[in-house]
Amino acid sequence: MPDVLHILTEKLTRAIHAALGDQHAHTDPQIRPSNNPKFGDYQANFAMGLAKKLGQKPRDLAQQVVEKIDLENVCDKATVAGPGFINLHLGADFLNEQAAAALADTDRLGVAPAQPKQRVVVDYSGPNVAKEMHVGHLRSTVIGDCIARVLEFQGHDVKRQNHLGDWGTQFGMLIEHMLDCGADPRQTSFEVSDLNALYQDAKKKFDAAPAFADRARKRVVLLQGRDVDTGNLWAQLQSESYRHFRDVYRRMNVLLTEDDVRGESFYNDKLPTVLEGLQKAGLLQDSQGAQVVFPAGFKNRDGDPQAMIVQKSDGGYLYATTDLAAARYRIDELHADRIVYVTDARQSQHFAMIFATLRQAHWASDRVRLDHVPFGTVLGKDNKPFKTRQGGTVKLIDLLDEAEKRAATVIDQKNPDLSADQRDAIAHAVGIGALKYADLSNDRIKDYVFDWDRMLAFDGNTAPYLQNAYVRIRSIFRKGGVDSSTLDHGAISVRDPAERALAVKLLQLPAVIDAVADSLEPHRLCTYLYELASAFHQFYEHCPVLIAPDESTRDSRLALCELTARTLQRGLDLLGIQVIEQM
């Protein structure tokens, strides 16, 4: 089912063709939603630019095209305005039909499956084994999960990848410490109640006890040498760490599972091949004993070509090597058409160099799209990176606890009649939703200031505001005793300006999904949902539903409510946020 934007684009493209001839058969009419109702619902912006090229007057050109537009069944009118804009006013019948079709399309709400379907790898979250997740993992986890959900909803074949930090010299000391704590290589489970303590204790011993440090270094060699007992201990640490990640992901409503784990260790045996490949491609060079590549277009602080080290002078590999190996795996084995990396903005240059190297080595052809999705820092009220009052790292689990606690307090104030169980369930959805929404609703490239009061506010662009709009709609159905599954889809008939505005906004969902999938900017979806909820609240004020003047109006408004509820629910779901029936 083509959406409004596509229908209008098609109509205007035809009109341009008809007015100007075959050489303009594929001119983009530049259809955009109008930002002011007096300019219609949509506008075509092509005329000014095209007139310039053709040496004509923009308004004359626009008028020629307007005369060729087939308005039938779509627009009430199309008019030339201003310097040469074409304002398009959608017809009520068209809005009714489109809204009815979206309502009938239960799962997709009028969002057409993406063509062609692509295999998309989304790399996000990436915490470190043997450490608790902290605030530094929040943004990658939340943004990445949203992007994966959106691409999947479009119909793409999404492969989530959790690139865990599960390899490196620190595992020697961790494993030695595990042994000191009574771990047994021949058992399958080693329980850790506090991952951070495990790491810190190991580190303390490593720094203080030379004998222990010596054992740790030997243990690293054993680990890299595939010693069986050492491998078993390492695996126990893996699964114990993953237990923690799983708990955090579940509470956050993040879709990552153990199946998505492809940590650094997974690529360990593929690293020599990366070097051989670079050698074969003629890109590998020796520099002060290290093996490096010089991706085109990068300079260092002396103005010389910037090297990217892929093998240290002691023979060890670095994260550039692992990232190259991972990209090759994703392209060759996972058959990725597109790879999305969700990491903070500080790694922009690193990924630019990785991408350049992949292209130069012909490991990534032009048809593989490589996207780095950079994001800014979470700041405290002092505008510096978010820390605890003592200056320490903020644990993610503490953030989740406090989000729910604060949400519970707010819910208690607003709705004291709820049972404790109801209250807790609602506080979970609201608290976690607020936390995630605060992260998703800002342009991701910018830093943002973490502020509990603002994210949990029930007004403004927040998760609780959106969840509340949904709750209000459910409340209408409850109060009216109406079963939303038995609604007449064809009942929608917009008359009041508020009904009309709501319908126009509802029908913009497909275009918004497309924009998010292309730009990988979740805040666009947030902005849309906020505008939708605002449009609903205006409708709600001006258009009584249950006590509408007549039955057909009531049915129409109920159907609009239902479509709004489903759109909010779906939109929030794509953000990884849950709705509740009451709050």
Q: 186 is written with which tokens?
A: 């021949």
Determine the interface stretch with RNA among 79-87, 148-156, 190-198, 268-276 (rule: CB under 7 A). 79-87
- Residue 116 — φ and ψ, nearest 5°? -80, 155
Measured N-to-C along each axis, helices 551-574 and 497-506 cross at an angle, to the nearest 10 degrees, of 30
* Residue selected from 12, 39, 265, 569 as contacting RNA according to rule CB under 7 A: 39
Tell me the C-alpha distance between 583 and 565, whole Å.
15
For the chain, the farthest-separated pair of C-alpha atoms sits apart, in whole angstroms, at 88
CB nearer to RNA: give 46 or 249.
46
CB nearer to RNA: give 183 or 403.
403
Site track for RNA across 51-70, x = CB under 7 A: -x-----x------------
* Terminal-to-terminal C-alpha distance of the chain: 35
Measured N-to-C along each axis, helices 138-153 and 551-574 cross at an angle, to the nearest 10 degrees, of 130
Strand blocks (E) in 168-207:
none
Determine the interface stretch with RNA among 194-202, 238-246, 358-366, 537-545 (rule: CB under 7 A). 537-545
Helix, strand and coil content of the chain, in percent to the nearest 5, comes to 55, 10, 35
Among positions 85-144, residues that touch RNA (CB under 7 A) are 85, 87
Least gap, CB of 406 to RNA (angstroms): 14
Q: Is 515 in the site for RNA (CB under 7 A)?
A: yes
* Residue selected from 26, 38, 367, 389 as contacting RNA according to rule CB under 7 A: 38
* Residue selected from 209, 269, 546, 552 as contacting RNA according to rule CB under 7 A: 546
Q: In angstroms, what CA-CA distances link 492 with 15, 110, 202, 438, 561?
A: 30, 16, 66, 34, 10
CB nearer to RNA: give 137 or 149.
137
Among positions 148-207, residues that touch RNA (CB under 7 A) are 165, 168
- DSSP tag of 71: -
The SS3 of residue 226 is: coil
Determine the interface stretch with RNA among 30-38, 116-124, 249-257, 566-574 (rule: CB under 7 A). 30-38
Among positions 288-327, residues that touch RNA (CB under 7 A) are 288-290, 292, 299-301, 303, 306-307, 309, 312-314, 316, 318-319, 322
Q: Is 448 in the site for RNA (CB under 7 A)?
A: yes
- DSSP tag of 265: G
Q: Is 238 in the site for RNA (CB under 7 A)?
A: no
Tell me the C-alpha distance between 171 and 237, whole Å.
9
Tell me the C-alpha distance between 31 and 10, whole Å.
10
The SS3 of residue 462 is: coil
Least gap, CB of 366 to RNA (angstroms): 21
Determine the interface stretch with RNA among 202-210, 218-226, 227-235, 442-450 (rule: CB under 7 A). 442-450
Q: Is 419 in the site for RNA (CB under 7 A)?
A: no
Strand blocks (E) in 82-184:
85-90, 119-123, 157-161
* Residue selected from 191, 421, 541, 551 as contacting RNA according to rule CB under 7 A: 541
Fill in the amino acid letter for 407.
A
CB nearer to RNA: give 9 or 190.
9
Nearest to 407 by CA among 386, 394, 422, 388: 422
Q: Is 260 in the site for RNA (CB under 7 A)?
A: no
Query: What is the Rg, in whole angstroms, of the alpha carbon atoms belonging to the chain?
Result: 28
CA torsion through residues 460, 461, 466, 467, sign? negative
Tell me the C-alpha distance between 99 and 556, whole Å.
11
CB nearer to RNA: give 183 or 513.
513
* Residue selected from 41, 264, 371, 555 as contacting RNA according to rule CB under 7 A: 264
Among positions 463-492, residues that touch RNA (CB under 7 A) are 464-465, 468, 471-472, 475-476, 479-480
Strands 157-161 and 85-90: unpaired
Among positions 346-365, residues that touch RNA (CB under 7 A) are 346-350
Q: Is 582 in the site for RNA (CB under 7 A)?
A: yes
Q: Where are the alpha helices (DSSP H) in 253-318?
A: 271-280
Determine the interface stretch with RNA among 66-74, 93-101, 440-448, 562-570 (rule: CB under 7 A). 440-448
CB nearer to RNA: give 235 or 318.
318
CA 372 to chain centre: 12
CB nearer to RNA: give 104 or 296.
296
| Size of interface with RNA, in residues (CB under 7 A) | 98
CA 200 to chain centre: 33
Q: Is 36 in the site for RNA (CB under 7 A)?
A: yes
Least gap, CB of 335 to RNA (angstroms): 25
Least gap, CB of 32 to RNA (angstroms): 5
Tell me the C-alpha distance between 524 and 22, whole Å.
36
Q: Is 521 in the site for RNA (CB under 7 A)?
A: yes
* Residue selected from 93, 258, 269, 443 as contacting RNA according to rule CB under 7 A: 443
CB nearer to RNA: give 74 or 476.
476
- Tell me the β-bridge partners of 395: 134
Least gap, CB of 142 to RNA (angstroms): 15
Least gap, CB of 167 to RNA (angstroms): 8
Q: In angstroms, what CA-CA distances link 123 with 66, 262, 335, 372, 489?
A: 47, 10, 15, 10, 40
C-beta separation of 65 from 12 below 8 A: yes
Q: Is 345 in the site for RNA (CB under 7 A)?
A: yes
- Residue 450 — φ and ψ, nearest 5°? -75, 125
Least gap, CB of 426 to RNA (angstroms): 8
Least gap, CB of 135 to RNA (angstroms): 15
* Residue selected from 446, 488, 496, 497 as contacting RNA according to rule CB under 7 A: 446
Least gap, CB of 460 to RNA (angstroms): 2
Tell me the C-alpha distance between 526 and 442, whole Å.
9
Q: Is 279 in the site for RNA (CB under 7 A)?
A: no
* Residue selected from 187, 409, 415, 552 as contacting RNA according to rule CB under 7 A: 415
